[in-house]
Amino acid sequence: MSFQAPKGTFDWMPPRSEWALIVRDALSAPARRAGYGYIETPAFEDTGLFARGVGESTDIVTKEMYTFQSKGGQSLTLRPEGTASVVRAVLEHGLYGGALPIKLWYSGSYFRYEKAQAGRYRHFSQVGAEALGAEDPALDAELIVLASDGYASLGLKNVRLLINSLGCKECRPAYRAALQDFLRGLDLDEATRQRIEINPLRILDDKRPEVQAQLVDAPLVTDHLCGACKAYHEEVRSLLTGAGLTYSDDPRLVRGLDYYTRTTFEFIHDGLGAQSAVGGGGRYDGLSEMIGGPALPSVGWALGVDRTVLAMEAEGLLTERPGQVEVFAVPLGEEARRRIFSLVAELRRDGIAVDMAFGGRGVKGAMKAADRSGARFALILGERDIEAGAVQVKDLTTGEQTAVPLAGVVDVLKGKLS
């Protein structure tokens, strides 16, 4: 009997897996430089947290959660996203009583029982950042700039930014009612009709052409913003422009989670087909209260690691092979193996990436392994070299080989590699 990774999941294997690490690092680096502290929350939470936080009417909660009962009888759910957990942790640890905003970043695995397809997985990875406890357009703009800088640092050129404002609890209800009135007059199937009453904004996101065709004249949220939301949104836009970002206004950008208020945004890559969002986020001023906390206006984003690697691939950025060793050691004989083993340990302690031939496969096999490793230099040690107190350093690109005194090889290699 053999096993396979479950549907909608995949293994990150070398050398491609190195890109997942590089992407995680690059996407989180700007936030780390901007004072965001690292938070790690459990991979599962009380089911109620997501039901209330993400929203009972969302696809995530109604169709996509991995929910199970613990042996103690509690309903638990594998986290489908990170924001609700971060807010839960901030409330649980009482951080909202201290200096605000609380800035946190995270990285990890998330789980959604989605229809599996290219770029849409049931187990995927995000880097996220959240700033909690401040209502300040500069914070919204800061987060958007940090995400944009993360993508740019990876060399990505074709990431587009879409932004919108969903209004607040003052102006959203009137917009919602106007949209419901409009939608009730359309020719829609029964499931979509039911949606009008539960989550009308999501219908704007319906991808079906027959639905989109009817939505051309739908009222737009941006025409219904109150004065405060309008001013807030204008300030976010102007800060983004001031920071050199280009963006498109997308009044239909509603996002798939219920907690958003005011600013919402998405980063799109056109080389990815249907699953084009490489990241997204927004302001969620009411989420803390939705899960039983005090008012805690907040904003954040999550960037998809898997899709960012796919975007880099689409732009031809995965050409070099990361994670390779610089030096490969080849012992010829038993005594040489012992000597080279300690030399390899010494080189590694000096910060040089080194591998060596294992398994006693002979010179030919060992040199093949050296070539495959991607190393720039091979260190070859034979009986005669030991007698002479030297080791052969072979440049694997040019084929040139020189004898170097054993005592000086660390410095010689450091010099050659620098």
User: What is the total residue count of the chain?
Assistant: 418
Find the shortest distance in angstroms from Cβ 168 to ligand HAM. Answer: 16
Q: Least distance in Å: CB of 217 to ligand HAM?
A: 27
The least distance separating ligand HAM from the CB of residue 86, rounded to whole angstroms, comes to: 8
For residue 152, give the amino acid letter: A
On the 0-12 / 13-18 / 19+ scale of CB atoms within 10 A, 89 is: middle
- At 315 the three-state DSSP class reads coil
Peptide bond into 297 cis (omega under 30): no
Check residue 82 for interaction with ligand HAM (CB under 6 A): yes
Is residue 55 at the binding interface for ligand HAM, with CB under 6 A as the rule? no
- Chain positions 259 to 298 lying near ligand HAM, rule: CB under 6 A, are 277-282, 284
Residue 150 binds ligand HAM, judged by CB under 6 A: no
User: Sign of the CA dihedral 238, 239, 242, 244?
Assistant: negative
Judged by CB, which is closer to ligand HAM: 219, or 279? 279
Closer to ligand HAM by Cβ: residue 192 or 275: 275
- Binding part of the chain for ligand HAM, among 18-26, 75-83, 234-242, 400-408 by CB under 6 A, reads 75-83
Q: How far apart are CA 61 and CA 113, in angstroms?
A: 10
Answer for which of 28, 58, 77, 83 binds ligand HAM (CB under 6 A) is 83
Closest CA to 27 of 218, 242, 303: 303
Known binding residue 77? Answer is no
Whether the CA torsion 357, 363, 369, 371 is positive or negative: it is positive
Q: How far is the CB of 282 from ligand HAM (least distance, A)?
A: 6
Q: Which string of x and - marks every residue 96-135 that binds ligand HAM (by CB under 6 A)?
A: ----------------x-x-----xx--x-x-x-x-----
If one asks whether residue 304 binds ligand HAM (CB under 6 A), the answer comes out as yes
CA gyration radius for the chain? 27
Per-residue binding letters, 221-260, with ligand HAM (x by CB under 6 A) = -----------------------------------xx---
Q: Specify the residue, 257 or 413, whose C-beta has the smaller distance to ligand HAM.
A: 257
Minimum distance from residue 264 beta carbon to ligand HAM (Å): 8
CB of 233 to ligand HAM, least distance (A): 17
Give the interface size with ligand HAM as a residue count (CB under 6 A): 26
Is 112 a known ligand-binding residue?
yes
Residue in the block written with tokens 């904003």: 299
Q: What is the 3-state secondary structure (H, E, C) of 219-260?
A: CCHHHCCCHHHHHHHHHHHHHHHHCCCCCEECCCCCCCCCCC
Among candidate residues 292, 289, 294, 239, the one with its CA nearest the CA of residue 263? 239
Instruction: State which of residues 22, 159, 302, 393 lies at the interface with ligand HAM (CB under 6 A).
Output: 302
Report the alpha-carbon distance of residue 156 to residue 161 in Å, rounded: 13
Q: What is the DSSP string of 53-70?
A: HT-TTSHHHHH---EEE-
378, β-bridge pairs: 328, 394
- Nearer Cβ to ligand HAM, position 79 or 394? 79
User: Is there a binding annotation on residue 289?
Assistant: no
**CA–CA distance, 418 with 407 (Å, rounded to integer):** 19
- Binding status of residue 45 toward ligand HAM by CB under 6 A: no
Q: What whole-number distance in Å separates Cα of residue 203 and Cα of residue 189?
A: 12
Q: Provide, rounded to whole angstroms, the least separation between the CB of residue 92 and ligand HAM.
A: 18
Residues paired with residue 111 on neighbouring β-strands, in sequence order: 123
- Tokens 């040139």 belong to 400
User: Binding pattern to ligand HAM, positions 307-346, x when CB under 6 A?
Assistant: x---------------------------------------
| CB distance 298 to 131 below 8 Å | yes
- Would you list which residues are annotated within the binding site for L-histidine? 81-83, 112, 126, 130, 255, 259-260
Residues lying near ligand HAM in the complex (CB under 6 A) = 81-83, 112, 114, 120-121, 124, 126, 128, 130, 256-257, 277-282, 284, 300-302, 304, 306-307
Residues belonging to the binding site are: 81-83, 112, 126, 130, 255, 259-260
